[in-house]
A and B are shown apart, each in its own frame.
Chain A
Amino acid sequence: MNGANGASLVADGGVVVEARDLVLSFRETPALRGASASVQRGEILAVMGPSGSGKSTLLHCLAGILVPDAGEVYFDGQRLDTLREAERSRLRRERFGFVFQFGQLVPELTAEENIALPLLLDGMHRDEALRAARHWFELLELDGMERHRTGEMSGGQSQRVALARGLVAHPDVLFADEPTGSLDSLSGELVMNLMTRAVRERGTTVILVTHEPRVAAYADREVIVRDGRVAAAAKVPG
C-alpha cells in the first residue's frame, strides 16, 4: 500500500514490535486497559486517538520507557517489559530512535553536535561522529545550519535536527511522539516528508503518535486508541 508520500509500501519483514494486552495505571487513573498492537519491520504505524486516550503511554510502553502493570511487550522476538532498566536503557540507546514534540535538543550544543550525540554516546570518535552528523544537513535541507544552536533555529529546523538525531545511529525503530505538534502545517509537512523519505530509504520502522489525520496520512497503517484500548486498526487510504 502507499503512504501519503506515495513512496513506499509496508515491508513484509515480520513483526518487530508487539504489545499484548497491556494494562497500566498511574495511581488510581487507568491509562491502558488491555491494549494490543504490533508493528511490521519497515512499517510506519500511526497511533491516533483523542487527548488522554493512552496513545503516548502505549508508545512509551512499546519503547521500554514505561513497564506495564500487566501484559507483554516484545521487540525483535525478545520480551522487553521484563528487562531491567539498565538493559532497556541500552536497548533504547542502541536500537531505538526518538523524536518528541519539542525541547529535546541540548541547548548548549550546536546542531551538528546534537545530531552527533547518539554516536558519541556509542563511543564513536568525535571527528567521525561529526562527519556522520554533517551528512544529514543536506538530506534534511538544513545546509549552513551546522553551527547553529537551538535558539538560533526555527521550530521546524529544530525538529529536523531532532529527526536527524533520532535516525543518525541507524535505529531499528523510530518512536515519534507528536513530532509536528508544535509546528505550523507547512513546517509539519516538510518534517513529515523528510522523515518518511529518510526512513523509507533505510527501512526503519516508525511508530508515530499523532492526533492529526494529516500527519497520520504519511503512515502505512494506523491504529486508534480509545480509553486505553486499541479500538480499531485501519489501513491508511492511499
Chain B
Amino acid sequence: MIRLGLRLTLGSGREAALRVLITAVAVALGVGLLLAALAGMNGLHAQTDRGAWLDTSAQGVPPGSSADPLWWLSGTDEFDNQAINRVDVATTGPGAPALPGIAHLPDPGEYYASPALSSLLKSVPADQLGNRFPGRQIGVIGAAGLPSPNSLIIVIGHTVHQLSKAPGVVQVAAIQRTPASCYACESTIGSGPVLEFILAGGAVALLLPVLILIATASRLSAARREERFAAMRLIGATPHQISVVSAVEAVVASVVGVAVGFGLFFAFRPLLYHVPFTGSPLSPGDLSLQWVDVSIAVIGVPVAAIISARLALHRVQISPLGAKRRTSSRPPRMVRIMPLLAGIGVLAYFDGAGKPGAIGGQLLELLVGFVLLVVGLVLAGPWFTTAGARLMANRGNRPSSLIAGRRLLDNPKAAFRFVSGLVIALFVTSAVIGALSSIASATDTGVGGTGLDTLAQPFCAFSNSNCPASSEVPSVPATVLSELRTTPGVRAATIVHQSPSAGQQWNSSGIVACDPLARTPAIGKCAPGATAATIGWFFTAILGNNPHASTTTWPSAHLSAAEVGKLPVDAVVVATDGSSGAIEVARTALEAAFPYQGTPVTVSSLGPSTARTLTMIQDMADVIIVASLIIAACSLAVSVAAGLGERKRPFSLLRLTGVSTALLHRVVALESALPLLLVAAVSIVVGLVSAALYLHSQVGIAFSVPGVGYWATVLGGVAASLAIIAATFPLLDRITGPEVARNE
C-alpha cells in the first residue's frame, strides 16, 4: 500500500505533482515561519541569558558561600534617551566571582565599557558623558557579557571603603547566570517574569496562525483526493488501505515542505537579525535552533499533516461513492456572541462599579474579562462571518458579491477557521498598544515639553523609603550650582529640600522656596504670595503617577527661604532649553557631584527601563501584527487555491460563456478578504475597547486611540495580506482557461 501511495503521489502526472508541490510550498512556508518564531524565542532567551549578570544584585549573598564577596551596585544611567547599564564593583579578595566578558575585575579607578559605549565615550565630549564615570578605561567588555551588540554597559571599580557606603549596594558571592525572578531587575532586556509573560503571549499569538497554515496546507486539494480515494473504495479498497495511501501522500508533501522550510529559514536567517524582536539587535548566533525546535518541525509537522489528512478522510470512509451533497450547514446562532458580550460586560461592570479593592479581585476581573473576550472572539467569528456574508449576498447587486457571499454562507466556520489565528494576535496586540498609547498620552498631557526640558536628580531620601541615613545629602555645594547655572542651555537650578514633617513615608513631600520654583515650572508653582511650598511627587511614572505636576499649585509651607535653605536636600531640579547637549552636561555634572545617588532623569519621561520595556512590547506587538496578518493571508491563499481546485469546472465554464477573469478575481478577493477584514476589525475594536475599559477602571487613565504608527502597521499588514491573496489570481486564470474546460 505504501508503494501504491508513493506511486499515486509521485507518478500520477503533472496535476498530482503540482498538488504535492503546492502543499509542500505551503508547509514549507509554515515551517519556515515556525522555525523563525522558535529561533526568535531562542534569540530572546540568549539575550536575556547574556544580560542576566546585570541582575546579580537581586540575589545577594547565598548563605554559607566561601567565595570572597563582591560589593555590587547596579543601576540604569541614561544618555540621549539610550539606557546605560552601570555596575559599580569593589573586590574583597582574589576569590571574588568573575564577570562574563571581562578578564579581570577592574581595580579602583578603572573601568570596562561595552564596545558601543566605548565608541560613544570617544565621540561625545567628556562633559556630556565621560565625566560621569570615575577612572580610566582599561578594556572592552567581550561578547559574552553583552545582551546585544549595541548594549551600553560599564563596569566601574571602586575601593571597598567607597562603595560599601553607597545606598542600594549589596554583597554578592556569585554572578547571576540565568534571568532573575525579580520585578526591579536592571538587565537591558527586561525583568524575568515580565519578559517570560511577554514572550509567552507573543509566541502564542504568532504560533497559532502558523499551525493553522500548516493544517490548511496539508488539506489542500482534499476534494480531488477524496474523489480518487472514493473510486478506490468502490473497487474494494479498505478504509485502512485508503488511510495508508492518504498518509503517504501527506507525509511526502510535508517531508518535502519541512526540508524546503529549513532551507527557507537558513536562507532568510540573516534578514531575521534585522527584525526588532526586542528593540535591540540580536548578536550573531542568537537565532539558533535547539534540538527540541528541530524535532517539532521534523516530527511534529508530518504527524500533524497525517492527523489532518485522516480527519479529512472521514467522508470517504463513510461513502465509497464519495459523493458529497452540497447542503448548507446550519448557520451559527446568536448565542455564539454571548461570551464576547459577557467579557465586555465584565470589564464594563468593573468600570462602573470601581476597581476591586484586593489585588485578587483585580486579577480576577482581568482574567475573567480577558478569557471571556478571547473565547468569545473565537466563538463569535463564524457568526460575524455569516452576518457579513449574508449582507454581501443579499444586498450586493453584483454577481461577484453574490457568489462570494453564498460561498461564505456555505460554510462560515471553515471560512473563519483560516483566519482564526488572527483573533488572538490582533486582540492581544491591539489591547496592549491601546494601553501603551493611552499611558504615553497621559504622561504627555501632564507636563508636555516643559517636563522633557527639565532634569531632576531625586536623591535617595526622596525616592526611596529604605534610604540609609548615611546617604543623606545635607547641601548642594555652591560650585556645583554655579557650574550648572553657567552651563550653556541651562536656565535654572532649583533645590528641593526635605520636609521636616514628611518622615519616611513613600511619596513624601519636599519643601521648595518659591523664587527658584518659579524658574522650574515643570514641577509646579506656589500659591500667590507664598515664600515656600510643600511639593509632592512630581515625576511621571508608568501608571500616571502625578502626570499633572506642571499645572499643580502646591500648598504653602510656612517657612522663609532662608529656613528652607538649611534643610537637607531631597532633589536638584534643572530647567534647560531642551537641547540634548544641555541636558547631558547637566546630568553629567550632577552624577559626578553626587555619585551613587542614581541617574537624573527628565521630569516627564518614563524611567529608562520602563520606557525600554514599553518600546520592546510595542516592537514585538508590531512584529506580531504584521506576521500574523501575513500568515493568516497565507492560510487564506492556500484555502483559495484549494477552493479553486474544487470549482475549476464551473469557473472555467463561466469563462467559456464570456465571464471575465476580473469578475472571478473579484469573487476570490471578496470571499477571502471579507473574513480577514471582518476578523481583523472585530479583534481590533474589541482589543481597544477592553484596553479602554480596563485602563479606566483600574488605572484611572482615559483611553486614547493608538497613533499613526499602529494604524500604519495594521494597514501595511492588511495590504500585504491582500497582496498574498491576489497572488492566487494567476493560478485562477490558468486553471480556468478554456483548454481546461475542454479537457476536463
Smallest Cβ distance from B400 to chain A, in angstroms? 9
In contact, B744 and A60 (Cβ under 8 angstroms):
no
**Do the beta carbons of B402 and A109 come within 8 Å of each other?**
yes
Residues of B close to A133: CB separation below 8 A? none
- CB–CB A90/B650 < 8 A: no
Is the CB of B663 closer than 8 A to any CB of chain A? Answer: yes
Q: Known interface pairs A56-B742, A91-B658, A113-B402. Does A149 touch B650 (Cβ–Cβ under 8 Å)?
A: no
Of the listed stretches A46-54, A99-107, A213-221, name the one at the interface; the rest are far from the partner chain.
Answer: A99-107
Q: Is A139 an interface residue (CB 8 A)?
A: no
The reply on A142 being an interface residue by CB < 8 A is: no
Residues of B contacting A105 with CB < 8 Å? 650
A219 to B648, CA, bound (A): 31
- The reply on A96 being an interface residue by CB < 8 A is yes
Which residues of chain A are near B744, meaning CB under 8 Å? 103
**Nearest-neighbor residue (CB-CB) of B397 within chain A:** A126
A97 to B654 alpha-carbon distance, docked (Å): 11
Residue B326 at the chain A interface, CB threshold 8 Å: yes
Q: Tell me the residues in window 402-422 of chain B with beta carbons closer than 8 Å to chain A beta carbons.
A: 402-403, 406-407, 409-410
Q: Are A89 and B399 in contact (CB under 8 A)?
A: no
* Residues in A whose Cβ lies below 8 Å from that of B663: 121
| Best-buried of B402, B410, B738 by chain A (most CB within 10 Å) | B402
Smallest CB–CB gap between A164 and chain B, Å? 14
Contacting pair A100 B653 (CB below 8 A): yes
Query: Given A60-B738, A117-B399, A120-B399, do A93 and B650 touch, yes or no (CB 8 Å)?
Result: no
Chain A residue numbers with a CB within 8 Å of B324 are 151
Q: In the bound complex, do residue A98 and residue B399 qualify as a contact, i.e. CB atoms below 8 Å apart?
A: no
- With both beta carbons as reference points, the residue of chain A lying nearest to B656 in the complex is identified as A65
Asked if B398 is at the interface (CB within 8 A of a chain A CB), the reply is: yes
Q: Closest CB of chain A to B603's CB: distance in Å?
A: 63
Q: Roughly how many angstroms separate A24 CA and B403 CA in the complex, as a whole number?
A: 35
User: Least Cβ distance of A61 to chain B in Å?
Assistant: 11
Measured CB to CB, the nearest residue on chain B to A103 is B649
Given the known A-B contacts A106-B650, A120-B398, A120-B399, are A96 and B326 also in contact in the complex, defined by CB atoms under 8 Å? no
Interface residue? A194 (CB, 8 A): no
| Residue with the greatest number of chain B CB neighbours at <10 A, chosen from A56, A65, A110 | A65
**Chain B residues closer than 8 Å to A117, beta-carbon distance:** 399, 654
Report chain A residues within 8 Å CB of B396: 126
State whether A92 touches B327 (Cβ < 8 A).
no
User: Which partner residue on chain A sits nearest B663 by CB separation?
Assistant: A121
Are A90's CB and B398's CB within 8 A?
A: no
**B653:A120 contact, CB within 8 angstroms:** no
Q: Is B325 in contact with chain A by the CB < 8 A criterion?
A: yes
Judge if A94 is at the interface, Cβ distance under 8 Å: yes
Does B165 have its Cβ within 8 Å of any Cβ on chain A?
no
Q: Does A118 contact B (CB under 8 A)?
A: yes
- Chain A residues with CB under 8 A of B329: none
Tell me which of B328, B647, B659 contacts A121 (CB under 8 A).
Answer: B659
In the bound complex, residues from chain A placing their C-beta under 8 Å from that of B123 are: none
Which of chain A's residues have a CB closer than 8 A to the CB of B398? Answer: 120
Find chain A residues with CB under 8 A from B403 CB. 106, 108-109
The yes or no answer to B657 lying at the interface (CB within 8 A) is yes
A150 an interface residue at 8 Å Cβ cutoff? yes
B656–chain A nearest beta-carbon distance, Å: 6
* A84 contacts partner chain B, Cβ-Cβ < 8 Å: no
Tell me if A92 and B658 are in contact (CB < 8 A). Answer: yes
Residues of B within 8 A of A150 (CB): 326
Cα separation A66 to B737 with both chains bound (whole Å)? 11
Residues of B within 8 A of A109 (CB): 402-403, 406
Do residues B650 and A121 form an inter-chain contact, with CB atoms below 8 A? no
Using Cβ atoms and an 8 Å threshold, which residues of chain B touch A90?
A: 658
Q: What residue of chain B has the Cβ atom nearest to residue A95's Cβ?
A: B658
Question: In the assembled complex, which residues on chain B have CB atoms less than 8 Å from the CB atom of A96?
Answer: 657-658
Task: Tell me the complex Cα distance, A108–B643, Å.
Answer: 12
CB of B391, distance to nearest CB on chain A (Å): 13
Q: Does B501 contact A (CB under 8 A)?
A: no
Type the 1/0 row for B343-368, where 1 means its CB is closer than 8 Å to any CB of A.
00000000000000000000000000
What residues of B have a CB within 8 angstroms of the CB of A118 in the complex? 657
In the complex, the answer to whether B653 meets A98 with C-beta atoms within 8 Å is yes
The answer to whether B654 touches A106, judged by C-beta atoms less than 8 angstroms apart, is yes
Residue of A nearest to B738 (CB): A65
State whether the Cβ of B162 lies closer than 8 Å to any Cβ in chain A: no
Count residues of A near B (Cβ-Cβ below 8 Å): 36
Select from chain B the residue with minimum beta-carbon distance to A124: B397
Instruction: Indicate whether A152 reaches chain B with its CB closer than 8 angstroms.
Output: yes
Q: Say whether B482 faces chain A, with CB atoms less than 8 Å apart.
A: no
A104 touches B650 (CB 8 A): yes
> Is B660 part of the contact surface with A, judged by Cβ < 8 Å?
yes
Assess whether B660 is in contact with A89, with CB atoms less than 8 Å apart: yes
Complex interface: chain B residues within 8 A of A152 (CB): 325-327
Nearest-neighbor residue (CB-CB) of A86 within chain B = B660
Q: Are A98 and B326 in contact (CB under 8 A)?
A: no
Instruction: Considering the complex, give the chain B residue whose CB is closest to the CB of A166.
Output: B657
Q: Which residues of B contact A98 (CB under 8 A)?
A: 653, 656-657
Residues in chain B near residue A65, CB distance under 8 A: 656, 738
B738 touches A107 (CB 8 A): no
* Interface hits, B461-514 → A, CB 8 Å: none
Contact of B647 among A56, A88, A92, A107 (CB under 8 A): A107
* Cβ–Cβ contact B653 & A151, under 8 A: no
In the complex the two chains form, what is the Cα distance from A103 to B656 in whole Å? 13
**In the assembled complex, which residues on chain B have CB atoms less than 8 Å from the CB atom of A88?**
658
Cα distance A47–B248 when bound, in Å?
A: 46
Question: Contact at B397–A107, with CB atoms within 8 Å?
Answer: no
Query: Complex: how many Å from CA A92 to CA B738?
Result: 13
> What is the CA–CA distance of A121 and B397 in the complex, to the nearest angstrom?
10
CB-CB under 8 A for A93 and B659, given A98-B653, A106-B654, A108-B406 = yes
**Docked complex Cα distance between A184 and B362 (Å):** 72
Task: Among B325, B654, B738, B742, point to the contact of A151 (Cβ < 8 A).
Answer: B325
Chain A residues contacting B654 (CB-CB under 8 Å) are 106, 117
**A216 CB, nearest partner CB in chain B, Å:** 22
Q: Which of A56, A66, A113, A125 contacts B397 (CB 8 A)?
A: A125
For the complex, what is the distance from the CA of A60 to the CA of B739, rounded to whole Å? 11
| Chain A residues, Cβ within 8 Å of B399 | 117, 120-121
Which residues 72-89 of A have a CB within 8 angstroms of B? 86, 88-89
The distance in angstroms between the C-alpha atoms of A149 and B407, with both chains bound, is 12
Q: How far apart are A94's CB and chain B's nearest CB, in angstroms?
A: 7
| Chain B residues whose C-beta falls within 8 Å of the C-beta of A94 in the assembled complex | 658
Interface centre among B399, B656, B657, by most chain A C-beta atoms within 10 angstroms, is: B657
What's the minimum C-beta distance from A131 to chain B, rounded to whole angstroms? 14
Contact of A108 among B410, B653, B659, B738 (CB under 8 A): B410
A66 engages B738 (CB within 8 Å): yes
Smallest distance from the beta carbon of A153 to chain B beta carbons, Å? 10
From B327, B397, B656, B658, A149 is in contact (CB under 8 Å) with B327
Encode B47-66 as 1/0 by CB contact (under 8 A) with A: 00000000000000000000
Q: How far is the CB of B191 from chain A (nearest CB, A)?
A: 53
Contacts of B402 in A (CB 8 A): 109, 113, 120, 126
Q: How far is the CB of A58 from chain B (nearest CB, A)?
A: 12
List chain B residues, Cβ under 8 A from A113: 402, 406
Q: Which of A114-166 contact B (CB under 8 A)?
A: 117-118, 120-121, 125-126, 149-152
A contacts, CB < 8 Å to B: 56, 60, 63, 65-66, 86, 88-94, 96-98, 100, 103-110, 113, 117-118, 120-121, 125-126, 149-152
* In the complex, the 6 A-B pairs of residues with the closest C-beta atoms, listed nearest first: A93-B658, A151-B326, A92-B658, A108-B406, A103-B649, A120-B399
Besides A103-B649, A118-B657, 12 new A-B residue pairs in contact (Cβ under 8 A), listed by A number: A65-B738, A66-B738, A90-B658, A91-B658, A100-B653, A103-B653, A106-B647, A107-B650, A109-B402, A121-B663, A126-B402, A151-B324
Contacts A/B (CB < 8 Å), 14 sampled: A60-B742, A63-B656, A66-B738, A88-B658, A89-B659, A92-B657, A92-B658, A100-B653, A106-B403, A106-B647, A108-B407, A117-B654, A151-B327, A152-B326
